[in-house]
């Protein structure tokens, strides 16, 4: 779960200094005060992790992206591409990440923690961003790639007790730029004998953004019929367009939700109906559950019409 966010030079924010995040975080402020920019930063990073182009430092979005931010100049504070853009994310893992030493014959744990962080620094060149440095933290240990004497060369460094990266004999060449804004290039794993765990740190970041979903401020208009092909959606969609699919899938698979200790389990549609009642959006007579209608995928009709059309 994300616990802290910091950034400098992103859109309307000159600086966001260690903003705490919780299970529920509310952003309040006047119009155009920068609330949406915070969400856009997270969505930009999510679609960057999902991009298949490893050379793309930041995925600023396209026609079907979660967020469309235009060019790099559009996302830099005061449109000054020479200005540094940085961000830092702190988060906790569902369970501890344990890193073993691959150079030891017997098992030896190098690091173990359920706290991680990513810090990245970028600048613009010819209208495009490049990475100056990227740093991962696992507990009290940090591992970073920093730009060297030449703009195209990078160094792998660590600030950890009793640990140092070991070069593979004969692999003395400098490292190329990081993959995207957060990843390690493939050369890291062949140039160093004990750097394979860096891929695990990168994977944990991608898992984190895989658990971030976006539900926009606008909703789909109600439809007369909802055909369902039996699929179970991974999320509700940006406009809530997959909500009916989720309700039908949960009903079909017999999913239940526990409302608390020693309380009767409810189906998903019963839980939704319960909260609709609590919010005063439905009448009490419907509080025992939502009336679900199974739709025929062949004629896109309900049960009664289906009998007339498909019989």
User: If pLDDT is split at 50, 70 and 90, which confidence band does 151 have?
Assistant: confident
User: If pLDDT is split at 50, 70 and 90, which confidence band does 198 have?
Assistant: very high
Residues 153 and 302 in one domain: no
Q: Is 235 part of a structural domain of the chain? A: no
Q: Is 195 part of a structural domain of the chain? A: yes
pLDDT at 305 over 90: no
Residues 58 and 116 in one domain: yes
- Express each pLDDT in 14-51 by its tens digit: 999 999 999 889 999 999 889 999 999 999 999 999 99
- Express each pLDDT in 67-109 by its tens digit: 999 999 999 999 998 899 999 999 999 999 998 877 665 678 8
Q: Which domain holds residue 131?
A: 2-210
Q: What is the pLDDT of residue 175?
A: 94
Q: What is the pLDDT of residue 135?
A: 97
Q: Is 162 part of a structural domain of the chain? A: yes
Q: Is 231 part of a structural domain of the chain? A: no
- Express each pLDDT in 276-300 by its tens digit: 888 888 776 544 444 444 445 444 4
Residues 140 and 284 in one domain: no
- Express each pLDDT in 103-128 by its tens digit: 665 678 888 999 999 999 999 988 89
SS (H, E, C) the chain: CEEEEEEEEECCEEEEEEEECCCCCCCCCCCCCCHHHHHHHHHHHHHHHHCCCCCCCCCCCCCCCCCCCCCHHHHEHHHCCCCCEEEEEEEEEEEEEEEECCCCCCCCEEEEEEEEEEEEEEEEECCEEEEEEEEEEECCEEEEEEECCCCCCEEEEEECCCCCCCECCCCCCCECCCECCCECCCHHHHHECCCCCHHHHHHHHHHHHHCCCCCCCCCCCCCCCCCCCCCCCCCCCCCCCCHHHHHHHHHHCCCEECCCCCCCCEEHHHHHHHHHHHCCCCCHHHCCCCCCCCCCCCCCCCHHHHHHHHC
Domain termination residue (choose one: 191, 210, 229): 210
Number of domains in the chain: 2
Q: Is 183 part of a structural domain of the chain? A: yes
Residues 146 and 278 in one domain: no
pTM of the entire predicted model: 0.80
pLDDT at 60 over 90: yes
Q: Is 115 part of a structural domain of the chain? A: yes
Residues 190 and 252 in one domain: no
Q: What is the pLDDT of residue 310?
A: 52
Residues 113 and 260 in one domain: no
Q: What is the pLDDT of residue 167?
A: 92
């Amino acid at each position: 779960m994300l616990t802290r966010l910091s950034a400098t030079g992103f859109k309307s924010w000159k600086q966001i200094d260690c903003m705490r995040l919780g299970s529920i975080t509310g952003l309040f402020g006047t119009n155009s005060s920068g609330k949406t920019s915070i969400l856009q930063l997270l969505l930009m990073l999510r679609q960057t992790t999902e991009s298949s182009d490893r050379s793309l430092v930041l995925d600023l979005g396209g026609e079907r992206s979660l967020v469309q931010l235009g060019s790099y100049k559009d996302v830099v504070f005061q449109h000054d591409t020479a200005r540094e853009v940085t961000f830092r994310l702190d988060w906790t893992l569902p369970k501890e990440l344990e890193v073993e030493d691959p150079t030891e014959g017997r098992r030896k744990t190098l690091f173990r923690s359920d706290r991680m962080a990513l810090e990245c620094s970028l600048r613009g060149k010819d209208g495009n961003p490049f990475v100056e440095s990227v740093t991962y933290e696992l507990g009290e240990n940090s591992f970073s790639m920093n730009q060297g004497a030449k703009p195209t060369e990078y160094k792998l460094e660590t600030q950890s007790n009793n640990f140092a990266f070991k070069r593979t004999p004969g692999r003395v060449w400098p490292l190329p730029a990081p993959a995207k804004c957060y990843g390690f290039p493939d050369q890291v794993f062949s140039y160093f004998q004990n750097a394979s765990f860096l891929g695990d740190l990168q994977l944990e970041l991608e898992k984190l953004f895989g658990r971030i979903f976006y539900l926009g401020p606008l909703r789909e208009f109600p439809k007369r019929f909802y055909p369902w092909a039996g699929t179970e959606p991974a999320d509700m969609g940006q406009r809530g367009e997959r909500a009916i699919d989720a309700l039908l899938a949960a009903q079909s698979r017999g999913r239940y939700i526990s409302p608390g200790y020693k309380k009767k389990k409810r189906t998903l549609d019963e839980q939704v109906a319960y909260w609709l009642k609590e919010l005063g959006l439905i009448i009490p007579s419907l509080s025992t559950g939502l009336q679900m209608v199974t739709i025929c995928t062949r004629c896109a009709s309900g049960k009664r019409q289906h009998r007339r059309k498909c019989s």
